[in-house]
């Protein structure tokens, strides 16, 4: 990927001489960021700031740059993996687990960014970010493992809990919390006449809206249609969004417990011989 931020050796590999680089800098075509690093037109200000600070953009900031879902309130600040002589003023200094890869690209590749992010994010946030990367087919678990020479056992356990079928952070957070409480949660289940639904526990469907989701009239009509067919099929449906997961989880959980308790009771009653 071309971030429009280059090292001197990259510019020379493209045929530029020291004289060309000096002239381009004088013309303003190249903006010197620190010794050996230049920004060209189109460089992202976040990437420029990371390199100017003495490192490369990494961790949560790099994940966001790749379009991976990270909750808006998660891990503020500029996350930078500093080169050996980097300065630290005003940036969050991030370290990967395992061996430290070279800082030769302006934005860390996904394995290095995830290795750093494991220390800056909560496990829940990190799994949601990995889910998002898997879902967008930006990386696979095998590729991550192949890139990490040493994987701490807690990271391995977190990876085991990822699911690339998850379509939103809301869904990942809800799935992880419900699974940790012992619920048998099925993800992205196809139901005839309804379509794919996010989470299923018994006869309960949990539809998870992504952060900042605003449905169009057409989407809303489709949601209503899905809800009607779910009820015709004997399903119970609740809809939650990221604010519910983040700020109202005890209430949501109490509702899920109440519904699944009734659901279990109904199923037992239906099956019991008379």
Residues near Zn ion (CB under 5 A) are 59, 79, 94, 120
Q: Shortest approach of Zn ion to residue 79 CB, angstroms?
A: 4
Helix 169-180 vs helix 123-135: crossing angle, to nearest 10 = 130
Query: Closest distance between Zn ion and the C-beta of residue 128, in Å?
Result: 16
With respect to Zn ion, which residue has the nearer C-beta, 70 or 94? 94
Between 30 and 112, CB nearer to Zn ion: 112
Cβ proximity to Zn ion: between 50 and 120 the closer is 120
Terminal-to-terminal C-alpha distance of the chain: 67
* Residue 92: CB minimum distance to Zn ion, A: 5
Nearer to Zn ion, 79 or 175 (CB): 79
Minimum gap (Å) between residue 63 Cβ and Zn ion: 9
**168/213 Cα distance (integer angstroms):** 10
- Of the pair 96, 169, the CB lying nearest Zn ion is at 96
What distance in Å separates the CA atoms of residue 92 and residue 40, rounded to the nearest whole number?
25
Tokens standing for 249?
């989880």
User: Minimum distance from CB of 135 to Zn ion (Å)?
Assistant: 22
């Amino acid at each position: 990927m071309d971030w429009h931020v280059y090292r001197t050796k990259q510019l020379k590999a493209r045929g530029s001489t020291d004289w060309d680089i000096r002239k381009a800098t004088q013309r303003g075509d190249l903006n010197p960021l620190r010794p050996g690093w230049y920004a060209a037109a189109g460089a992202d200000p976040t990437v420029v700031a990371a390199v100017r600070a003495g490192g490369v953009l990494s961790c949560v900031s790099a994940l966001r740059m790749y379009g991976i879902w990270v909750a808006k309130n998660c891990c503020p600040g500029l996350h930078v993996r500093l080169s050996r002589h980097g300065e630290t003023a005003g940036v969050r200094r991030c370290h990967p687990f395992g061996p430290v890869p070279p800082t030769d690209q302006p934005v860390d590749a996904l394995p290095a960014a995830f290795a750093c992010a494991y220390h800056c994010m909560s496990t829940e946030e990190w799994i949601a970010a990995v889910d998002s990367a898997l879902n967008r087919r930006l990386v696979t678990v095998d590729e991550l493992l192949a890139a990490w020479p040493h994987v701490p056992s807690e990271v391995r356990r977190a990876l085991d809990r990822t699911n690339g079928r998850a379509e939103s952070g809301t869904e990942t957070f809800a799935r992880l919390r419900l699974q940790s409480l012992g619920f048998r949660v099925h993800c992205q289940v196809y139901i005839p006449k309804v379509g794919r639904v996010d989470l299923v526990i018994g006869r309960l469907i949990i539809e998870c809206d992504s952060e900042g989701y605003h449905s169009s009239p057409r989407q809303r009509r489709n949601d209503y249609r899905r809800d009607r067919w779910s009820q015709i099929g004997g399903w119970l449906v609740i809809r939650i969004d990221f604010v519910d997961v983040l700020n109202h989880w005890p209430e949501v959980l109490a509702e899920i417990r109440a519904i699944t308790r009734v659901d279990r009771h109904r199923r037992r009653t239906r099956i019991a011989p008379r």
